[in-house]
Amino acid sequence: MSQVTITLLFLLFAIVMFMWEKIPLGLTSMIVCVGLVVTGVLDWKTAFSGFIDSNVILFVAMFIVGGALFETGMANKIGGVVTHFAKTEKQLIVAIMIIVGVMSGFLSNTGTAAILIPVVIGIAAKSGSSRSRLLMPLVFAAAMGGNLSLIGAPGNMIAQSSMEKIGLKFRFFDYAKVGLPILVVGIIFFALFGYKFLPDKVDTSGEGIFDETKDFSNVPKWKQTLSLIILLLTLLGMIFEDQIGIKLCVIGCVGALALIVTGVISEKDALLSIDLKTIFLFGGTLSLASALEATGAGELIADKVIGMLGDNPSPYILTFVIFMLCCIMTNFMSNTATTALMAPIGVSIAQGMGADPSAVLMACVIGGSCAFATPIGMPANTMVVTAGGYTFKDYAKAGVPMILVATVVSMILLPIFYPFFPG
């Protein structure tokens, strides 16, 4: 059996098991990870490299920063400020999505989500809303906001790199022509209809640091203040990542270490705040993404689908197919890997047709950001699995309608702003 076939079988197994949920999501990820090594598709170093991925390191660091914010009661205080202005659940959803969406346009999606997850849990606790109703809009807005600027998401830069190879480039806010309307329509959709699809879980799992009911009256004022200061400094560090030359995950680690060294959070509580289920789910799933890329299975799927369109497909149909293909792939691979895979295919198709490559690449980027339907679609989705008490089906139920909304908006705007054959 070829490596491509084995990889596709493991992909099928993962999809079925994730949907069935008879065994924990993290365990399914680890079975796939180990299985790819045992069958010889990946060597053990490549398979397990996901556990030292920069996103996993960022997860661990920000779980500790978030844990400190929660342990000191600062998350609840911030939550009190937000709930003072936003009284109803719908208003809270809209407020959270606007804040996250705008921040995500200029910061890492994952970094934005990581910083704001404990704040949103604090908002939920203060308002009496279920956190499961607020955390999912948060991560969806993080994904949509990534398309507001060139630096909003790694996939944006990958598409830019593909453009530069053929002597063209996107301007800083070019993605916003489609990305901003998707964010605006997405927020309106959740305010009017989307909230009906959000899961309503009882916050009583008692498994994580955020599930404890605490009395914060005895917490020293300096701990609360310092937890907020370190969070803000971490945020500033992430904003100016390029200028200071320190990677996002390392900035997160500096913040986490500062909190432990100063005694804001104890070593024991810091360790308790790290969600291992999330780490296993994400780290294990990255091996599947590596296998799809390394064996060429991902490229094979893309080529087969596009090949079905024939020699001279309609530009509109081609845009739609590339968009949907990226949509589907990004929910099982990383957004970055999806764009990296599809961008060169898209450019060669466009050049073969004599079309404008920016039209195809924009469809790749926007489609590749629609990772709403699975807990493994993007790191931010994975980060809230445990805190929100979500199942695979919860993501599908809320995420698929959001994908449909993004598709409709994109199919209207892409041909207007990025026609295949500009006049």
What is the band of 400 on the pLDDT scale with cuts at 50, 70, 90? very high
Position 367 scores a pLDDT of 94
The tens digit of pLDDT for each residue in 321-336 reads: 889 989 998 998 777 7
Nearest to 49 by CA among 288, 376, 402, 396: 288
> Can you give the pLDDT at residue 276?
84
Residue-averaged pLDDT of the chain:
86
Q: Is the dihedral of CA 235, 240, 242, 246 positive or negative?
A: negative
Instruction: Indicate the pLDDT class of residue 36, thresholds 50, 70 and 90.
Output: very high
Alpha carbon distance 244, 157 (integer Å): 19
Q: What is the pLDDT of residue 97?
A: 94
If DSSP codes are grouped into helix, strand and coil, which group holds residue 49?
A: helix
Which is higher by pLDDT, 241 or 361?
A: 361
Looking from the CA of 99 toward its CB, the CA atoms found within 13 Å total 18
pLDDT for 43: 94
Alpha carbon distance 106, 85 (integer Å): 25
Residue 98 has pLDDT above 70, yes or no: yes
Distance CA 19, CA 397 (A): 12
Torsion sign (Cα): 372, 70, 285, 29: negative
Q: Contact 110/154 with Cβ under 8 angstroms?
A: no
Of the candidates 356, 361, 378, 369, the residue with the CA atom closest to the CA atom of residue 402: 369
Q: How far apart are CA 40 and CA 36, in angstroms?
A: 6
* Rounded CA separation 375/25 (Å): 9
Q: Quote the pLDDT of residue 75.
A: 81
> Which of the listed ranges 63-77, 234-248, 256-270 does the model predict with the highest average pLDDT?
256-270
pLDDT higher than threshold 80 for residue 274: yes
Closest by CA to 150, choosing from 139, 136, 164, 140, is 164
- 246-260 pLDDT, tens digit each: 988 899 999 999 999
Tell me what the mean pLDDT of segment 114-137 comes to.
88
Q: Which of 119, 79, 71 is nearest to 272 (CA)?
A: 71
**Residues 60, 401: Cα–Cα separation, whole Å:** 31
pLDDT at 164 over 60: yes
On the question of pLDDT at 174 being above 80, the answer is yes
pLDDT value of residue 396? 93
Under DSSP, the state recorded for 129 is -
Place of tokens 């509580």: 269
Contact 389, 205 (CB under 8 A): yes
Check residues 392 and 20 and name the one with the higher pLDDT: 392
pLDDT of residue 210: 61
pLDDT of residue 188: 96
| Cβ contacts of 336 within 8 Å, gap of 6 or more | 153, 154, 155, 158
Mean pLDDT, rounded, for 390-404: 94
Other CB atoms within a 10 A radius of the CB of residue 13 amount to 15
Q: Is 49 or 293 the better-scoring residue by pLDDT?
A: 49
Q: Which residues of 120-155 are buried (b: 16+ CB within 10 A; e: fewer)?
A: bbbbbbbbebbbbbbbbbbbbbbbbbbbbbbbbbbb
Other CB atoms within 10 Å distance of the CB of residue 277? 17
Window from 86-90, 208-212, 352-356 with minimum mean pLDDT? 208-212
CA distances from 213 to 68, 122, 201, 208, 216 (A): 15, 12, 17, 11, 10
The predicted pLDDT at position 179 comes to 94
Q: What is the three-class DSSP state of 30? A: helix
First to last CA, the chain: 50
DSSP letter, residue 356: -
Q: What is the pLDDT of residues 335-377, one digit of tens each?
A: 777 887 788 777 777 777 777 888 888 999 999 999 999 998 8
Smallest Cα–Cα separation from 383: which of 46, 54, 117?
A: 117
User: Which tokens belong to 289?
Assistant: 């993404």
